Structure 1
Amino acid sequence: MTRLRKAQAGEAASLTALCLRSKAHWGYDAEFMRLCVPSLTVEERSIAEGRVLVATDEAGQTVGTVSVGRDGDDAELALMFVEPAAMGSGTGRLLFEAAAGLARKLGYRRMTILADVNAARFYERMGARYLRNEPSDAIPGRVLPFYEYDLTSGASS
């Protein structure tokens, strides 16, 4: 059974490594992955602010992480990654629902998501509504699907 907990001080490096393993699962080349490092880095400051959650398996091993940031007046699903071996296990859904709950608790009414193209269908299944394509925060010239999730009803607005 997957469990959730707040990330702990000192976990930023291992959570960043998880994000990079998860992203690399989709077959991106080394240069692409190098360019992604800054946008896939978990910050100790976010951990200290209580904005990073961790999913663990029955053995206590980390299998996923999610981070809620700020996007103006909205929450931002800043990072959400699952260990490749745990993909399809429900961990992503658990992390997404926990992120939405955390964003609500922080007082946000809407959460934005700049999604990797490989995750777009997942966010649509979660109820996020596609708004438009936006420039990648990591790869010059790349555009990504941009979504919103209505936190007041648990569905898109």
Structure 2
Amino acid sequence: MSNIRRALPEEAVLLTEIAFRSKAHWGYDLSFMEQCRNDLTIFSDNITNNLVFVIEADGDIVGFYELRGKVPEANLYWLFMDPKVIGCGYGKRLWLHAAEISKGLGFEYMLIKSDPYAEGFYLRMGAKRIGKLPSTAIQGLMLPLLCYQLLVKG
């Protein structure tokens, strides 16, 4: 049984651990992971000041996402899953939840700056690649920029 709920500020350290395990799952070396440390650290202020949701499985947090932005543009800032549940459908549930919340807030589209290994997931969810953006952690690394249309204008 799984449940999606708002994250609590005191869960910031746990969410950071999930983010690191999730990123490391793709085989990045220790040096790369250390360069990503600042980008993968979740602070209690992130949780207090933004929309951060967690998904629980059997009472344990196994993933989370954060939404930021101003209408019309939502930014899916993070979506990380504990590697032990990758491929079990929890990521899709979080994605659908993020899309539903974004629509409810009046966002027209959601932008995602994706890890290259996660791009396939977002494409399967209906996002389209619209370009590349530089990594804020690794100089010279370009990351896929994706867009998911939430509301149809007209």
Q: Would the TM-score normalized by the shorter structure come out above 0.5?
A: yes
TM-score (normalised: structure 2): 0.92
Count of residues paired in the alignment: 152
Match of 1:89 in 2: 88
41-50 or 129-138: which moved more?
41-50
Pairing 1:1-157 to 2, within 5 Å after superposition: 1-49=1-49, 51-58=51-58, 60-70=59-69, 73-153=72-152
Alpha-carbon shift at residue 49 of structure 1 (Å): 3.4
Deviations 1:43-69 (A, max 9, x none): 3223123510001102x0111011112
Query: Take 2:108 and 2:16, find their aligned partners in 1: how far apart are those partners?
Result: 28
Alpha-carbon shift at residue 136 of structure 1 (Å): 1.2
| Contiguous gaps of at least 5 residues in structure 1 | none
SS of equivalent to 1:88:
coil
33-42 or 139-148: which moved more?
33-42
Question: Which letter does structure 1 place at the counterpart of 2:8?
Answer: Q
Alpha-carbon shift at residue 72 of structure 1 (Å): 8.0
For the aligned residues, what is the CA RMSD? 1.6
Identical aligned residues as a percent: 38
Alpha-carbon shift at residue 109 of structure 1 (Å): 1.1
Query: Take 2:70 and 2:36, find their aligned partners in 1: how far apart are those partners?
Result: 19
Query: Take 1:39 and 1:101, find their aligned partners in 2: how far apart are those partners?
Result: 26
Query: Take 1:100 and 1:16, find their aligned partners in 2: how far apart are those partners?
Result: 23
2:133 and 2:142 in contact (8 A); partners too: yes
Query: Take 2:51 and 2:60, find their aligned partners in 1: how far apart are those partners?
Result: 20
Query: Take 2:143 and 2:119, find their aligned partners in 1: how far apart are those partners?
Result: 9
Question: Which letter does structure 1 place at the counterpart of 2:38?
Answer: P
Alpha-carbon shift at residue 40 of structure 1 (Å): 1.5
| Contiguous gaps of at least 5 residues in structure 2 | none
Alpha-carbon shift at residue 106 of structure 1 (Å): 2.7
Q: Structure 1: which 4+ aligned runs deviate by more than 4 Å?
A: none
Go from structure 1 to structure 2 and tell me whether the alpha carbon gap of 1:51 and 1:4 turns closer, same or farther (over 3 Å shift).
Answer: same
SS of equivalent to 1:16:
helix
1:7 and 1:54 in contact (8 A); partners too: yes
93-102 or 112-121: which moved more?
93-102
Question: Which letter does structure 1 place at the counterpart of 2:124?
Answer: R
